[in-house]
Structure 1
């Protein structure tokens, strides 16, 4: 893996088309797309009886994604060896968001503000989700089996991207969500799923993205809890794991995790019913932008 000087490009409404053009040119030779989002936390908990913990988790993802707005999306593009473009480009898209008008978790907003998010600028210069989704659709990043998406605990991340593309609410049924996911992002790996592999369990690799990177001695470039830096750290951590643990066996390991998203599908339980009666702290872990689990 090369180590160019990293340049995190902040993308706002006024340079959105220009930066997507650069991405379209770059992805032709750098088809591994690491992605992270920052969003305003989790504000809603579905109540009732669910088929499984995963079903509850999906309903929580969908109701929050449908209610809330994106704050940032980060893209880092690499080649199959984990090399960045020699220019060191990473993209960080900043969305229209108003602390006065939009819903959010106060803890999440406080964390993001402490990480350097300028909410005043987001309100004035931020990207409209519809404009982002339209350009993402023609970016060369989606609906292409030659593009590989790299993420960490990414149910919310893909949910927000999907909503920007569809310009509608996420489907009520998780099975429909996965049909969209397979169509739009035909090849994807969630590092949190990869951690369940016996080789990584035996190596005692665990925790959130930053903790995992620290265990592997992967050095962060940029600010934690900002989407550009987090997307690049996701990519570099993925390639470090692949190199250290699966150099000769990746072709056998990849099909066991490809397309799975941690906490959704059948990744946690055997389908036992799950009842959520009250909004308690004992619920299955959701990904939140304000917790170490996500970043």
Structure 2
């Protein structure tokens, strides 16, 4: 079997651009994403950013899967989503190529949604997490004034039918919280199910049977650690600039997944044996 190449090399437009999704361009951006998903870009990587873990277990990180899920549920039920990164690719690892800028030059594209629901003066958060995101370039004031309400974004996803598209592969990395916030978007902010099995079942019901966590898959090739560490272990080039925001993280997540997918081809069951398995749960 021929394995799919990871990168779109010939011809490769210079640079991957981030298209910001704010309240003013929400409808057009979601419609464009939908058109690409329906046009063969059926692999969708998602990364979420939220204002830190305000709930911790007294035993720290030495937890059972059920205890860890309890921490995830407590945080996701209370916290507000700050940002979501979305990167699409096709079965050969190619990203959408879209005209960009005043000259209409072609560039590969990813998307980044800023949400407006969080206000550090009103809502619980971890100050260090908020400061880290600010240092990476997240503009909290602009998000609050021009960002998208999570419920409005969810309604637009449902209107477009994105959550019901057949044959879509959803990709995360270290996806416990990604899965939690994807569920919250799909259900307009409903509390997470009481059990981790319930969350997995609900994610499958809303997003389909092909939902993957690259961090879980990487265990099979003895690659551990952060997104950047696993990418380096797999021999992938680091992102430049190395910014830890939702858009670039989703881009790296899709590269990691496509490389792992290629390596899983010879294995019995292939990469699909890892579907709906989340690292830590």
- TM interval, shorter chain, is 0.7 to 0.9
* Alignment of 1:217 onto 2:236: yes
RMSD of aligned residue pairs (Cα, Å): 1.9
Structure 1-normalised TM-score?
A: 0.81
* Alignment of 1:193 onto 2:216: yes
* Alignment of 1:62 onto 2:73: yes
Contact kept in structure 2, 1:144 and 1:184, CA below 8 Å = no
Contact kept in structure 1, 2:261 and 2:271, CA below 8 Å = no
Q: CA deviation at 1:47?
A: 6.7
Distance change in 2, residues 1:8/1:41 (3 Å): same
**Secondary structure of 1:196's aligned partner:** helix
Unaligned runs of 5+ in 1: 265-295
Contact kept in structure 2, 1:30 and 1:79, CA below 8 Å = yes
Contact kept in structure 1, 2:186 and 2:206, CA below 8 Å = no
* Alignment of 1:228 onto 2:251: no
Q: CA deviation at 1:217?
A: 2.9
Q: Which residue of 2 aligns with 1:278?
A: none
- 2:24 is aligned, of 8, 11, 14, to 14
Q: Which residue of 1 aligns with 2:115?
A: 95
| 1:161-191 C-alpha deviation (Å, 9 max, x unpaired) | 2112212211222232122111112211111
**Secondary structure of 2:269's aligned partner:** helix
| 1:35-72 C-alpha deviation (Å, 9 max, x unpaired) | 10111110013579xxx711111111111011110110
Contact kept in structure 1, 2:214 and 2:260, CA below 8 Å = no
Q: Which residue of 2 aligns with 1:30?
A: 41
Unaligned runs of 5+ in 2: 1-6, 99-107
* Alignment of 1:82 onto 2:93: yes
Distance change in 2, residues 1:32/1:62 (3 Å): same
Contact kept in structure 2, 1:65 and 1:156, CA below 8 Å = yes
Q: Which residue of 2 aligns with 1:273?
A: none
Q: Which residue of 2 aligns with 1:249?
A: 266
Distance change in 2, residues 1:144/1:221 (3 Å): farther
| 1:121-180 C-alpha deviation (Å, 9 max, x unpaired) | 112112111001111223443234400011111110111121122122112222321221
**Secondary structure of 1:101's aligned partner:** coil
1:131-146 aligned at under 5 Å gives the runs: 131-146=152-167
Contact kept in structure 1, 2:182 and 2:203, CA below 8 Å = no
Contact kept in structure 1, 2:84 and 2:247, CA below 8 Å = yes
Distance 2:78 2:237 in 1: 35
**Secondary structure of 2:93's aligned partner:** coil
Q: Which moved more, 1:137-146 or 1:13-22?
A: 137-146
* Alignment of 1:111 onto 2:129: no
Q: Which moved more, 1:231-240 or 1:253-262?
A: 253-262
Distance 1:250 1:26 in 2: 30
Distance 2:277 2:95 in 1: 25
